[in-house]
Amino acid sequence: MATRRTTRPRFTLALLVLTSITLITLDYRSAGSGVTDRARGLARDAFEPVGRGVGNVLSPAVNVIGGVLDFGRVKDENARLRDELARARADAAAGADARRELKTALDALDLSFVGDLPSVAARVTGGAFSPLQLTVEIDKGTEAGIDEGMPVVSGGSLVGRIVQVGPRRSTVLVLSDPGLSVGVRLTSTGDLGVVTGDGGRRLVMSLVEPKTQVKVGDEVVTSGLQQSQYPPGLPVGKVTSVKRDSAGLTQDVIVTSSTDLRRLSFVRVLQWRPE
């Protein structure tokens, strides 16, 4: 009798464990085209209206609380944004000419120009659920021409990459995720490096030559080197601080994204694939 009591829980546990392992194996082998992906798509499509409805009901309260808690920060940010807007207007006039020249040069070299890439606009429907990755979910998928690995931009700068795609929904791994690395180039010097997220708005640029003179305010864009996951010239952010170690062997370059990666609402998925 006692044996039966102890055997049954173990048998049930073994059954559940084996079922889980079988599911993992099935999902792994189907690689994005199996029954598990269809189940995922169905579950997300079914849950989305519920989540959005509750979100709409809760959002006034959440906004009031957020507004009260963030009032000081919002005021500072408004002042900063006004200043940035004035400078951006001045830069835009100068930049238009440079873009024309760049496009002509790239056409001559038969390379793609970021401004010419086809793209799909999508709305961020909410943060995804992963405790281990910084992801957001968007309301467009394969039916709109989105594919895994496509770069995602917002406000003209890179914000992430598509890591999972369903018929009407996709998951974007955000640039601030510590697991996402992007090959970049400093526009001022042409030096290359790699930026990695720190979970917030800051990105850490590593592999920068110690002799490179990096200045605060330098623009950082995607390098687009061979086998890169991103097209060349996509704005990533601006250098906000540079620290050199006492021996001068390394330098920590902090890059801040021009987009607030924690508050994405609309994005564009560039229909670009690595060559």
Q: Chain centroid to CA 150: how far?
A: 10
Cβ-based nearer residue to other proteins, 20 or 104: 20
Site string for other proteins, 171-210 (x = CB under 8 A): x----xxxx-----------------xxxx----------
Contacting residues for 252 by C-beta, under 8 A, at least 6 apart: 204, 206, 241, 242, 243, 244
Q: Which one among 7, 8, 92, 265 touches other proteins, defined by CB under 8 A?
A: 8
Site string for other proteins, 67-96 (x = CB under 8 A): ------------------------------
Phi and psi based region of residue 119 (left: phi greater than 0; alpha: psi -120 to 50; beta: remaining)? beta
Tell me the one-letter amino acid at 212: T
Cβ-based nearer residue to other proteins, 181 or 187: 181
Q: Chain centroid to CA 30: how far?
A: 25
Q: Which one among 1, 2, 4, 9 touches other proteins, defined by CB under 8 A?
A: 9
Shortest spacing between CB 162 and other proteins, in angstroms: 11
Tell me the one-letter amino acid at 234: L
Query: Binding to other proteins by residue 12, rule CB under 8 A?
Result: yes
Shortest spacing between CB 6 and other proteins, in angstroms: 10
User: Which long-range contacts link 38-46 to residues 24+ away (Cβ below 8 Å)?
Assistant: 40/164, 40/166, 41/141, 41/166, 41/167, 41/168, 41/169, 44/137, 44/166, 44/169, 45/166, 45/168, 45/169
Residues that bind other proteins (CB under 8 A): 8-9, 12-13, 16-17, 19-28, 36, 39-40, 43-44, 47, 50-51, 54-55, 58, 62, 126-135, 163-164, 171, 176-179, 197-200, 262
